[in-house]
Amino acid sequence: MKSIINFSKGSRTARSPFTRMIISTVFSALVLAGIHMPLKAQEKQFTQPSWWFGMAAGANFNFHSGSTQHLNADLTTLSAFHDGTGTGFYVAPLIEFYRPDSRLGLMFQFGYDNRKGKFEEVLTPCNCPSDLSTELSYLSFEPSIRFAPFKGSFYLYAGPRFAFNLNKEFAYQLGVNPLYPEQIKPPREMGDFSEIKEMLVSMQIGAGFDIPLTSDANKGQAILSPFVSFHPYFGQPRTIETWNITTVRLGATLKLGNGKKNPLYVNQSMESIGQDPVVLFTVDSPENIATSRRVRETFPLRNYIFFDLGSTAIPDRYVLLNKDQVKDFKEDQLETFKPKTLSGRSDREMTIYYNILNILGDRMGKNPSSAIKLVGSSEKGPEDGKLLSNSVKEYLVDIFGINPSRIAVEGREKPKIPSEQTGGTSELVLLGQDDRRVSVESANPAMLMEFHTGPDAPLKPVESFGFQVAPPDSYVTFNVHGAKEALSSWKLELADEKNNVQHFGPYTNETVSIPGKSILGVRESGNYKATMIGQTKSGKTIKKTIPVHMKLWTPAESEEGTRFSVLYEFNDSKSITLYEKYLTEVVAPKIPANGKVIIHGYTDIIGDKEHNLNLSLARANDVKSILEKALVNTGRKGVKFTVRGYGENEAFSPFNNNLPEERFYNRSVVIDIIPSK
């Protein structure tokens, strides 16, 4: 008997490394599997569900330690029990939520959780062995944060555990002294532990790996997910003594969910059996829209003045007046004061922006109670930033005669809303140019855009009139859905009624837009056969032909549109919350019943192309949602919306991307409102 007791005591030391080895082995296997298993979304016929429902089951490997002797009011053992082990059952319904190709999600499990165990045998003072076991069990609620580091099948999770006691039974057996085997063994004593906590709050961390049980060709999908979790000692099951429990859980979950049809799916196995890869060829030939349409534009005035690297002088691309010219300056006649050089794109709008210093001085002169703060930001530090602010202040004081006390200055290393983020490694030169600037801040409503305050608030917009050039929504758009996966390249052949053929391409993008005038020339309209000729990745040629009617973008006799813009900071799609009241109370009332609203989203050229495309579309759809809601609330009906995101596509972007101010204005959503006629 003595040797058994010694071995039992030694097992306490050996158990901890063994437990760590189990966790480490399972965890490493799950990590390695997770690295190799991610599947491209384009390869799936149905997308992975976001919501999963199912059942988790497993075994709890329980490790008891501490000290317990007073079992209840009727029983105190002759010797204290310390270490023990046991294997209990765990089963729980579950709900999981995580979007495909995302890292973060949520998990919820609520079920039966058994923490049973048998304590190691101890000797009483009479040299009698004694045993103690427990059927301790709980109803456990375990919400967790789910994190998939590789956006794949492997995931980690962690969260709190809320356990409600269900069973607190124990069984105690006092043996006989082996030196007196003729003794009668006392009866086994059963009962409930006293002072058991009704609820425990602890924690759990774990890892799992999703194994698909169904093909992505099925809408209904099933996943088997083996997992391992660790429940460290955190609190004690009783309000007395020092008994505590640590648990390692091994198990699996069966999860069910419904996917959605994947519009990007390409059946790449078709080519291997001698059939064409599946690509969908469509053409969007828009309605005739008036060219030369007169447009009344409410142009937002960005509250930033950008400085060249290494210089504290106001760049000469800004319009700088002398004192004699101030009396002739009028905000609604800016064409009189044009900058020295313009890029040729959006000249009217850039003329407005490059007069920002003069607009600022003129408004301060007309609003004597107004005050501003100039916050200069420089990569050289706050002192250099303050020099930038003082350059702007000196111009306003010397040229427009503004009292210096109305202009506060500040220097910073980074703007309050920087473009260059901490930890960024790419395109730092462009981002550095963006951040070398002076921000104009004010609390005076006469200076600011309606409903805006704060360091990123644009100045009050400027209204202007002009003639709109052919917008991108008047272009003919050719879509080859699935081209990115199925084709190495594709080109277009457009044949008119006389079989005159025009060639365009080759292309690798799935969507290409071509100005109608490039196809029709001087013709007002025409019927064409559009043929997409694609080269598969194995060298095979496939063709798809559809008829298209095109109508040239021609001017209307008299039609005036209205244009507004919404501005964003770098890589931001959430600024729309700042514009919600503006869109609802200023823009929406300008939309007539049965009118048309064209919403285009844009970005600058910094960052990944695909990310920028998605970002621009997200911005445009946010604007649409707010305007639609406002129209419903006012009972206005019959309004048609057209929404597109062009990302960083420089063929469509309203401004160039050479200068920081151009890039800032490309981070925008443009709203064109067209009357019903």
pLDDT single digits (tens) 590-619: 998 888 899 999 999 888 888 888 889 888
pLDDT digit string, tens, across residues 29-82: 444 444 444 444 444 567 788 899 999 999 999 999 999 999 999 999 999 999
Span 84-108, mean pLDDT? 92
pLDDT digit string, tens, across residues 500-512: 999 998 888 788 8
The CATH number given to whatever domain includes residue 571 is: 3.30.1330.60
Give the whole-angstrom CA distance, residue 577 versus residue 583: 10
- CA angle (647, 649, 655) in 5-degree steps: 95
Whether 137 and 113 have beta carbons less than 8 Å apart is answered as: yes
Return the pLDDT at 345.
61
Phi/psi of residue 138, each to 5°? -140, 160
Record the tokens describing residue 473, joined without a space: 């929504």
144-148, 405-409, 424-428, 469-473: range with lowest mean pLDDT: 469-473
Name the residue among 456, 450, 466, 462 with its Cα closest to residue 359.
462
pLDDT at 262 over 70: no
Record the tokens describing residue 370, joined without a space: 């107004």
pLDDT digit string, tens, across residues 231-251: 998 878 999 999 999 999 999
Span 399-419, mean pLDDT? 92
Strands (E), 406-458: 407-412, 437-442
Span 100-129, mean pLDDT? 92
**Residue 297 within any structural domain of the chain:** no
CB neighbour burial string for 473-499, b if at least 16 within 10 angstroms, e if fewer? bbbbbbbbbbbebbbeebebbbebeee
Give the whole-angstrom CA distance, residue 287 versus residue 552: 9
Same domain, 341 and 445: yes
Whether 246 and 233 have beta carbons less than 8 Å apart is answered as: yes
Same domain, 309 and 444: yes
Return the pLDDT at 271.
39
* pLDDT confidence bin for 374, thresholds 50/70/90: very high
* pLDDT confidence bin for 556, thresholds 50/70/90: low
Whether 627 and 588 have beta carbons less than 8 Å apart is answered as: yes
221-230, 489-498, 514-523, 548-557: range with lowest mean pLDDT: 548-557
- Could you tell me the sign of the dihedral formed by the alpha carbons of 76, 79, 82, 88, in that order? negative
**Residue 121 within any structural domain of the chain:** yes
The CATH number given to whatever domain includes residue 487 is: 2.60.40.10
Same domain, 318 and 447: yes
Mean of pLDDT over the chain: 83
* pLDDT confidence bin for 277, thresholds 50/70/90: low
**Residue 337 within any structural domain of the chain:** yes
Same domain, 30 and 146: yes
pLDDT digit string, tens, across residues 284-331: 776 654 445 677 888 888 899 999 999 999 999 999 999 999 998 988
pLDDT digit string, tens, across residues 430-440: 888 889 999 99
Number of C-beta neighbours around residue 630 at 10 A: 18
pLDDT at 5 over 70: no
37-51, 253-267, 305-319, 659-673: range with lowest mean pLDDT: 37-51
Same domain, 448 and 475: no
Same domain, 582 and 645: yes
Span 83-101, mean pLDDT? 93
Same domain, 79 and 221: yes
Domain boundary residue, one of 551, 571, 587: 551
Return the pLDDT at 228.
96
Task: Look up the domain containing 19 and give its range.
Answer: 2-38+50-258
Same domain, 161 and 245: yes
**Residue 193 within any structural domain of the chain:** yes
- Total structural domains in the chain? 4
**Residue 298 within any structural domain of the chain:** no
pLDDT digit string, tens, across residues 622-648: 999 999 999 998 888 889 998 988 888
**Residue 295 within any structural domain of the chain:** no
pLDDT digit string, tens, across residues 447-483: 888 777 766 677 888 888 766 555 665 678 888 888 8
Give the whole-angstrom CA distance, residue 72 versus residue 195: 8
Return the pLDDT at 100.
77
Same domain, 214 and 71: yes
Same domain, 531 and 597: no
Give the whole-angstrom CA distance, residue 188 versus residue 66: 23
Using CA atoms of 11, 14, 16, 22 in order, give the dihedral in degrees to the nearest 10: -110
**Residue 274 within any structural domain of the chain:** no
Same domain, 9 and 134: yes
pLDDT at 558 over 60: no
**Residue 465 within any structural domain of the chain:** no
Same domain, 586 and 493: no
